[in-house]
């Protein structure tokens, strides 16, 4: 199916279950439970259970033809079935709901690259346009992130663009807008480049038939072409894109003040290329274990766990959830905590830079205190920590948009680890925090279990803190008007760069 509408159009047709219900404030059936205690909640988080949950998700992925847990596939359905079953075991402690929405899903694709008629290695991009084009290659200037980088000689030819700084999808669409017939994007680190263009329907235009190259291949073509040679490419790609339904899962305590809800979340979908056990099986299981542990305690403030779908194709589930709430319901979200990749094999211990001190992207009032909470927790538990840019490039973005203070931790994706970070966290310099990011290797065997346990305990500590009281936070901003904290570009958990 060829898709050309904008993202909003797909979400507008989706259906939603009723999401917010005034929970009983009387502790209905929970009065006998002790008030949540931070130390006890943290101690209830066991590495063995985290590993067990990760193994379940991997087994689910590997039981399906795609060996993934991508939105709209059997692997994702089995993931959400598992979570609902686990939550329902908790004796009605949570009200468990699902929210259904639809989105075009890239299910499979094939790609062949010929250079001057000879078959050459290449990588696929999800959501590439189907086509078979042959033309000379023209080199795009800089990183191809603005239309002025695309020379007029591109018209009718194939664009060669370097990876970096902006989304693959933007490069493909800008090359199309400049009149190219196809696009080749080459890596800026070792290895063949593959990834996702993201959902179609960009304002810049349609995607071209697009393939990925290694850095060596790309630089070789640049040398030949700038030396005056003509290099002709054939890009022959096909992609199977289908409109599929999926669900978000919401689990809300049936007691606690539902006018000031603590919301936390992780995403349940993997990319097409792998089982997604660090990204974001780790966050999925991390918050599940905290949800299970919390069910032995009473809370003052209602707590809602969100398991979002469609994160990998553009934060669809979290965006859908936020948009499904009335302004009044949105205002009841006191804060949002996000956990996306918390067991990267070559990890950093990262905390969202809510106070803007490292990246100058300051969040809504309260985000600084959430960052400081995690900093204090890491410090008092003898761990180093570092800041990660507060870009909104994971499921906290839609919450930033409505002025909700956000916080969270992550252990890093495709960014290369530095020597200074090795001194702080161990690991290997010169390779990514997660060398298996968005690849088939993102499995149980590549999790850093120490980072997983540290972060899951940090989640427990923050839930215990804010389920009891928000007194350490400044008053929440009155307005939940969109756009006060616009999504920023930059590093962070980059989705498609
Ligand atoms: C994807 O397509 C390839 C080639 O047609 C096929 O071998 C493979 O089984 C497909 N994968 C899935 C998950 O359908
Ligand atoms: C996933 O579950 C939905 C119902 O929630 C169903 O309509 C769909 O067919 C299932 N998809 C697969 C691939 O099993
Ligand atoms: C794609 O185009 C090339 C060059 O014109 C041609 O050799 C090849 O057979 C085409 N592929 C398909 C599947 O038609
Ligand atoms: C996807 O399917 C749903 C349910 O049938 C429908 O409401 C929606 O319009 C479809 N979206 C597209 C883009 O076809
Ligand atoms: C931080 O960002 C603000 C608002 O975007 C800007 O006015 C200010 O100059 C920036 N400060 C630094 C040190 O970059
Ligand atoms: C924290 O980082 C410093 C280097 O900045 C290092 O000397 C120290 O050993 C690290 N501490 C831990 C617990 O890893």
Residue position matching structure tokens 């969100």: 306
Rounded to an integer, what distance in angstroms lies between the CA atom of residue 260 and that of residue 332? 5
Indicate whether 491 pLDDT > 70.
no
pLDDT digit string (tens) for 100-152? Answer: 999 999 999 999 999 999 999 999 999 999 999 999 999 999 999 999 999 99
Q: What's 265-294 look like in SS3?
A: EEECCECCCCCCHHHHHHHHHHHHHHHHHH
DSSP symbol at 111: E
DSSP for 362-374, please give it.
--STTHHHHHHHH
Indicate whether 388 pLDDT > 60.
yes
* pLDDT value, residue 3: 23
* pLDDT value, residue 5: 28
* pLDDT value, residue 31: 83
Out of 63, 108, 272, mutate this one to test ligand 1's pocket (max ligand atoms within 8 Å of CB): namely 108
* pLDDT value, residue 148: 98
Q: What is the pLDDT confidence band of residue 10, given thresholds at 50, 70 and 90?
A: very low
Question: Which of 383, 305, 379, 372 lies closest to 339, judged by CA?
Answer: 305
Rounded to an integer, what distance in angstroms lies between the CA atom of residue 307 and that of residue 53? 15
Indicate whether 18 pLDDT > 80.
no
Q: Which two tokens stand for residue 384?
A: 């180093």
CA 438 – ligand 6 centroid, Å: 29
Count how many Cα atoms sit within 13 Å of the Cα of residue 339 in the half-sphere of its side chain.
35
Which positions ≥6 away from 478 have C-beta within 8 Å? none
* pLDDT value, residue 294: 98
Nearest-CA residue for ligand 3 atom 2 is 132
Ligand positioned closest to the Cα atom of 8:
4
CA 401 – ligand 5 centroid, Å: 19
User: Are 336 and 370 a contacting pair, CB within 8 Å?
Assistant: no
Q: Which two tokens stand for residue 331?
A: 């205002």
Long-range contacts of 44-47 (CB under 8 A, 24+ apart): 44/289, 44/292, 44/293, 44/296, 44/460, 45/289, 45/290, 45/293, 45/453, 45/456, 45/457, 45/459, 45/460, 46/289, 47/449, 47/452, 47/453
Question: Which of 180, 186, 168 lies closest to 136, judged by CA?
Answer: 180
Question: Which of 279, 311, 240, 275 lies closest to 66, judged by CA?
Answer: 275
Residue position matching structure tokens 């400081």: 372
DSSP symbol at 29: T
CA 398 – ligand 4 centroid, Å: 23
Nearest-CA residue for ligand 3 atom 1 is 132
Q: Which two tokens stand for residue 138?
A: 């023209």
Indicate whether 72 pLDDT > 70.
yes
Q: What is the pLDDT confidence band of residue 486, given thresholds at 50, 70 and 90?
A: low
Sign of CA dihedral 137, 141, 142, 148: negative
* pLDDT value, residue 89: 97
Rounded to an integer, what distance in angstroms lies between the CA atom of residue 354 and that of residue 360? 9
Query: Which is it for strands 195-196 and 232-253: parallel, antiparallel or unpaired?
Result: unpaired
Atom of ligand 1 nearest to the CA of 108: 1
Establish whether residue 469 lines the binding site of ligand 6, counting it when its CB lies within 6 angstroms of any ligand atom. Answer: no
Indicate whether 7 pLDDT > 70.
no
pLDDT digit string (tens) for 300-353? Answer: 999 999 999 999 888 999 999 999 999 999 999 999 999 999 999 999 999 999
Establish whether residue 480 lines the binding site of ligand 3, counting it when its CB lies within 6 angstroms of any ligand atom. Answer: no
Domains and CATH numbers, the chain: 3-93+254-496 (3.40.630.10), 107-241 (3.50.30.30)
* pLDDT value, residue 416: 93
Establish whether residue 472 lines the binding site of ligand 6, counting it when its CB lies within 6 angstroms of any ligand atom. Answer: no
Q: Give 57: exposed, middle or buried? Use CB within 10 Å, 0-12, 13-18, 19+.
A: buried
* pLDDT value, residue 309: 97
Ligand positioned closest to the Cα atom of 113:
3
What are the catalytic residues? 311
Q: What is the pLDDT confidence band of residue 477, given thresholds at 50, 70 and 90?
A: confident
Q: What is the pLDDT confidence band of residue 478, given thresholds at 50, 70 and 90?
A: confident
Q: What angle, rounded to 10 degrees, do the helices at 47-62 and 283-294 form? A: 130
pLDDT digit string (tens) for 169-222? Answer: 999 999 999 999 999 999 998 889 998 898 898 999 999 999 999 999 999 999
CA 244 – ligand 2 centroid, Å: 8
Mean pLDDT of 154-173: 96
Q: What is the mean pLDDT of the chain?
A: 91
% the chain with pLDDT above 70: 91
Q: What is the pLDDT confidence band of residue 14, given thresholds at 50, 70 and 90?
A: very low
Atom of ligand 6 nearest to the CA of 382: 13
Mean pLDDT of 46-75: 97
Q: Give 379: exposed, middle or buried? Use CB within 10 Å, 0-12, 13-18, 19+.
A: exposed
Q: What is the pLDDT confidence band of residue 2, given thresholds at 50, 70 and 90?
A: very low
Of the given ranges (43-52, 452-461, 488-497), which has the lowest mean pLDDT? 488-497
Out of 243, 245, 316, mutate this one to test ligand 4's pocket (max ligand atoms within 8 Å of CB): namely 243
* pLDDT value, residue 483: 53
Q: Give 303: exposed, middle or buried? Use CB within 10 Å, 0-12, 13-18, 19+.
A: buried
DSSP for 49-93, please give it.
HHHHHHHHHHHHHHTSTTSS-BTTSHHHHHHHHHHHHHHHTTTTS
Establish whether residue 423 lines the binding site of ligand 6, counting it when its CB lies within 6 angstroms of any ligand atom. Answer: yes
* pLDDT value, residue 480: 62
Nearest-CA residue for ligand 4 atom 6 is 13
* CA 73 and chain centroid, separation: 18
* pLDDT value, residue 224: 98
* pLDDT value, residue 476: 82
Out of 69, 73, 75, 245, mutate this one to test ligand 2's pocket (max ligand atoms within 8 Å of CB): namely 245
pLDDT digit string (tens) for 242-301? Answer: 999 999 999 999 999 999 999 999 999 999 899 999 999 999 999 999 999 999 999 999
* pLDDT value, residue 496: 57
């Amino acid at each position: 199916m060829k898709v050309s509408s904008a993202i909003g159009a797909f979400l507008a047709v989706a259906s939603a279950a009723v999401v917010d219900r005034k929970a009983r404030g009387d502790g209905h059936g929970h009065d006998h439970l002790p008030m949540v205690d931070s130390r006890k909640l943290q101690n209830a988080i066991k590495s063995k259970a985290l590993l067990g949950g990760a193994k379940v998700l991997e087994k689910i992925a590997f039981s399906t033809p795609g060996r993934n847990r991508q939105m709209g596939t059997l692997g994702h359905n089995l993931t959400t079935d598992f979570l609902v079953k686990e939550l329902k075991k908790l004796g009605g402690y949570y009200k468990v709901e699902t929210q259904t929405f639809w989105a075009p899903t890239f299910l499979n694709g094939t790609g062949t690259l010929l250079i001057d008629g000879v078959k050459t290695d290449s990588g696929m991009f999800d959501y590439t346009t189907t086509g078979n084009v042959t033309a000379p290659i023209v080199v795009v200037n800089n990183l191809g992130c603005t239309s002025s980088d695309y020379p007029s000689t591109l018209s009718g030819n194939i664009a060669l663009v370097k990876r970096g700084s902006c989304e693959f999808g933007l490069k493909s669409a800008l090359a199309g807008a400049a009149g190219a017939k196809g696009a080749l994007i080459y890596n800026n680190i070792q290895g063949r480049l593959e990834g996702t263009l993201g959902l179609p329907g960009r304002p810049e235009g349609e995607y071209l038939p697009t393939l990925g190259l290694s850095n060596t291949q790309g630089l070789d073509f640049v040398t030949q072409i700038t030396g005056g040679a003509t290099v002709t490419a054939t890009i022959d790609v096909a992609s199977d894109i289908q409109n599929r339904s999926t669900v978000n899962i919401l689990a809300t305590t049936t007691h606690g003040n539902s006018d000031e809800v603590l919301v936390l979340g992780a995403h349940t979908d993997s990319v097409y290329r792998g089982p997604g056990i660090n990204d974001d099986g780790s966050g999925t299981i991390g918050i599940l274990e905290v949800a299970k542990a919390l069910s032995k305690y009473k809370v003052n403030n209602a707590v809602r766990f969100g398991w979002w779908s469609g994160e990998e194709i553009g934060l669809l589930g979290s965006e859908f959830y936020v948009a499904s709430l009335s302004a009044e319901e949105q205002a009841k979200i006191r804060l949002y905590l996000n956990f996306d990749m918390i067991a990267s094999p070559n990890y950093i211990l990262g905390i969202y830079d809510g106070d803007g001190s490292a990246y100058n992207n300051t969040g809504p009032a309260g985000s600084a205190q959430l960052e400081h909470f995690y900093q204090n927790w890491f410090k008092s538990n003898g761990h180093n920590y570092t800041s990660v840019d507060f870009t909104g490039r994971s499921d906290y973005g839609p919450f930033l948009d409505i002025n909700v203070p956000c916080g969270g931790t992550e252990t890093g994706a495709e960014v290369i680890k530095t020597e200074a970070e090795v001194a702080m966290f161990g690991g290997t310099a010169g390779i990514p925090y997660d060398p298996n990011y968005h690849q088939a290797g993102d499995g149980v065997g590549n999790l850093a279990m120490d980072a997983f346990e540290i972060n899951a305990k940090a989640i427990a500590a923050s839930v215990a803190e804010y389920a009891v009281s928000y007194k350490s936070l400044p008053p929440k901003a009155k307005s939940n008007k969109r756009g006060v904290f616009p999504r920023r570009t930059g590093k962070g958990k980059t989705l498609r760069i």
